[in-house]
Amino acid sequence: MKKLAFVTAIFLLSPMLIAQERLQLVASVKPLQLVAHAIVADLGEVDLLIPPGASPHHYSLKPSDIRTLQKADLVIWVGPEMEQFLEKTLLRSDRPVLQLLKTEEDDGDHHEHEHQAASHKEHEEHNEHDEHEEHDEHHHHGDVDPHIWMDPIYMLEAAEQIKDMLQQQSPELSEKLEQNYQAFKRDLLQADKQIQQQLAPYQKSGFVVFHDAFSLFVEHYGLNQRAFFTVDPARSPGAKKLARIEKILNEPAVRCVFVEPQFEAPIVERIVADLPVNLGRLDPLATDMSLSQGYAGYLKDLANSIESCLK
């Protein structure tokens, strides 16, 4: 079984970079930006690479994105299983990189150091996959769901790695970075405890999601996700899967179907229209979350949406 690991690429920094007054980071997706911003705070900026409304599964870099990456003190991404479009660019780059999900190819490659994450429950593949999905889909064929920001413990470790790398680059900022990390940790653990209590009454209530992006959140909070319509939002589910999901949605314990703001889902809405289930929305990319609301605020927003639909 493949395990989640943190992979860091640390490069020699020029005196000019070390002396830079404000930190310049780039995060591939919004949830990672929220985490990184909590660590950087007023010490710099964290740019978002993939704009609101775009999907990391199908994004293409623009020249402006390349320029942003070239100026970064640190680039934070999940890894090629999520942002495949970014892999070749980062391999050619001399910028410091924090890759949060290890792949088999990372053993012996250009990454110089590895930090094994604390032991986690491993993400098991869903048995809802149709045969053609199991063979054709590139998005998480492996044993780890690449939507790692859905688990707060993974993101607490990510925050620590961001803090450690920035402290190595800018020792003069170490104390402030440590303070920011401790504040993030305190707020996140408090939010996690609150969400555990909030969602506990709904652990037996079944639901179906449009896109298989929430498994780590579901596992962490002990929820009852029964199925998903698609692994890749750009691909429509087959007739066999639709028939199976419609059967699931007719079960008394299944209360809700969640769609996503990034994608139109007319097939889902058509099926739900004739069934006694609620239609809710979950955003896997934290599109409407502000930096001030932060990562903990994003988790709370997901929890509120789930509770509202399962009531």
Q: Are residues 278 and 258 in the same domain?
A: yes
- Residues 252, 153: one domain? no
Residues 162 and 56 in one domain: yes
User: Is residue 128 assigned to a domain?
Assistant: no
The alpha-carbon radius of gyration of the chain (Å, integer) is: 20
Per the domain annotation, does 121 fall within a domain? Answer: no
Answer yes or no: is pLDDT of 74 > 80: yes
Give the span between the Cα atoms of 14 and 1, in whole angstroms: 39
Cα 174 off chain centre by: 27
Assigned domain for 226 exists: yes
Of residues 149 and 103, more confidence is placed in 149
Helix (H) or strand (E) holding 126: none
Question: Would you put residue 284 in left (φ > 0), alpha (ψ -120 to 50) or beta?
Answer: alpha
Same domain, 160 and 39: yes
Residues 274-283: tens digit of each pLDDT: 888 999 999 9
CATH of the domain at 230: 3.40.50.1980
Instruction: Please state whether the predicted TM-score (pTM) of the whole model is above 0.75.
Output: yes
Which residues, 6 or more positions from 277, have their beta carbon under 8 angstroms from its beta carbon? 249, 254, 255, 256, 257
Q: What range does the domain containing 74 cover? A: 5-116+141-193
Helix (H, G, I), strand (E, B) or coil at 167: helix
Shared-domain flag, residues 297 and 153:
no
Asked whether residue 130 is assigned to any structural domain, the reply reads no
Domain boundary among 177, 193, 209: 193
Q: What percent of the chain has pLDDT over 70?
A: 80
- pLDDT tens string 21-43: 799 999 999 999 999 999 999 99
Mean of per-residue pLDDT scores for the chain:
84
Same domain, 56 and 71: yes
CA dist., res. 6 & res. 99, Å (int):
6
Read off the pLDDT of each residue in 117-140 and give the average, rounded to a whole number: 38
